[in-house]
A and B are shown apart, each in its own frame.
Chain A
Amino acid sequence: MTVLVAAALVVVAAGGTAVGPPGGPAAPAGTLGGAGLLVTRRCAVLEAPDVGLAQLAVGTVVVPLMVMLTVGANARAARKRRR
C-alpha cells in the first residue's frame, strides 16, 4: 500500500512537470496527459472518492476542452488582428 501511494505521488509530480516544458501554444496535449495522471493519483490512492469524481470530470474533460478551444480561437484572433 505504501508503495502504491509513493508511486502515485511520483507519477503526479512527473505529470505536473510534463505540462510545464512546452513553451509554445501547443499546450493541449501536455495538459490532457498531465490532468489524466493527476486524476489517477487521487482515485486510486488516498481514499477520496468525492474528490476523485470531481477531478475526473473537471481535469479530463472540461478544462482540457476549454484550453483546446481557446488555443484555436487565440490563433485565429491573433492572425486576424495582424492582417
Chain B
Amino acid sequence: MSRRLRLWLFAVGAAGVAVLFLAAVLRMPEFGGVVHPLRAAVLDAAAAHRTPNVVSAVNYDQRAIDTFGEETLLLTAVVGAAALLRGGDDAPPPRPPRTMEAVRAVAYLVLPVTLLLGLATVVHGALTPGGGFQGGIVLGTAVHLVYLVGGRAALDRVRPVTVYVAGEAVGTAAFAATGLAAAATGAGFLANVLPFGTAGSVLSAGTVPLLSAAVGIEVASGVVVLLAGFLRQGTAGDEAAG
C-alpha cells in the first residue's frame, strides 16, 4: 500500500472514529460529576476487609481473579520478549563506562534507599498508594543503579538473570497457589480467606498483602529480565544518534 493511500485511509477512519467518539462523549455523564454507580459498593467491600487503599482492595481482593489474568498476560509477554531477545550475538564488549565519581557516589547512596522504597511500596500496598505493580517496577529498575556504579560487569554479577527468570515463575505460581489455597477452604478461587486484622497494620486485609507481594516478585523479575534482554542487545546511546 502506498504511503499516500495509507494516510488517506487513516484520514477516513479517523474522521469516523472522531464523529462516533464525540457522539458518545456528548452522552457521557458530566466530567467531575457525582455519578459513580460502583463506588459505594466498592468502598463498603474494602472497608469490610479493612483495606484502606481501595485501589489495592479492587486489584488484589474484589477483582483478584482479573488480576490473575493480567498476571498471566504479563508473564506471556515477558516470556515472548525474552525469547525474541535471545538470538543474535552480544553487543560488542562495551568500553568501561566513564562514570563520574560524583555519579557513582550518588548511585551508591541511592541504591539502598531505592530498594527499601520499592520494598515498602510492595509491603504497604493495602495501606498507602502502591502495591505489587508499582513497587515491583521500582525494585526491578533499582537493581540497574549498579550499572552506574560498576558498569556491565558489576551488573552481571549482582543480577544473575536465571534467578529472575525463576522469580517470574515463582511470583505467578505464588499468586495461583494463594488462590488455590483459598479454593481448598471452600471459599472459592482467590477468595480473601485470611483474618482481616486491624486496619492500618501491615498484616491486615487478609490475602491482599500476600497477593501484592506475589505480584511484586513477578513484576520486578519481569522488569529485570526484559531490561537484561535489551541491554544485551546494545548499549544505550551507542549508534542511537545515527
Enumerate chain A interface residues (CB-CB to B < 8 A).
2, 5, 26, 28, 49-54, 57-58, 61-62, 65-66, 68-73, 75-77, 79
Q: Which residues of A contact B133 (CB under 8 A)?
A: 54
A72 in contact with B237 given A57-B134, A65-B227 (CB within 8 Å): yes
Is the Cβ of B231 less than 8 Å from the Cβ of A54? no
Are A69 and B137 in contact, with the CB atoms below 8 A? no
Contact B53 A50, beta carbon cutoff 8 Å = yes
The smallest beta-carbon distance between A60 and chain B, in angstroms, is: 10
Mind listing 19 A-B residue pairs with CB under 8 Å?
A5-B32, A50-B131, A51-B55, A53-B129, A54-B133, A54-B134, A57-B134, A57-B137, A57-B138, A61-B137, A61-B141, A62-B137, A68-B236, A69-B235, A70-B234, A72-B237, A73-B91, A76-B91, A76-B239
Beta-carbon contact of B137 and A70 below 8 Å? no
- Counting contact residues on chain B (CB < 8 A from A), the size range is 20 to 34
A-B residue pairs, 9 tightest by C-beta: A49-B129, A73-B234, A73-B233, A57-B137, A72-B234, A69-B230, A53-B134, A50-B55, A72-B240
A62 → B minimal CB distance (Å): 6
Once A and B bind, how many residue pairs between them come within 8 Å at the CB atom?
74
Interface string of B106-127 (1 = CB under 8 A from A): 0000000000000001000000
- Indicate whether B223 reaches chain A with its CB closer than 8 angstroms: yes
Please tell me if the beta carbons of B141 and A62 are within 8 angstroms of each other in the complex: yes
| Interface contact B137-A66, CB-CB below 8 Å | no
Q: Per a CB cutoff under 8 Å, which of B134, B230, B241, B242 touches A50?
A: B134
Q: Which residues of chain B are within 8 angstroms of A54 by Cβ–Cβ distance?
A: 133-134, 137
Tell me, yes or no, whether B238 is within 8 Å of chain A by CB: yes
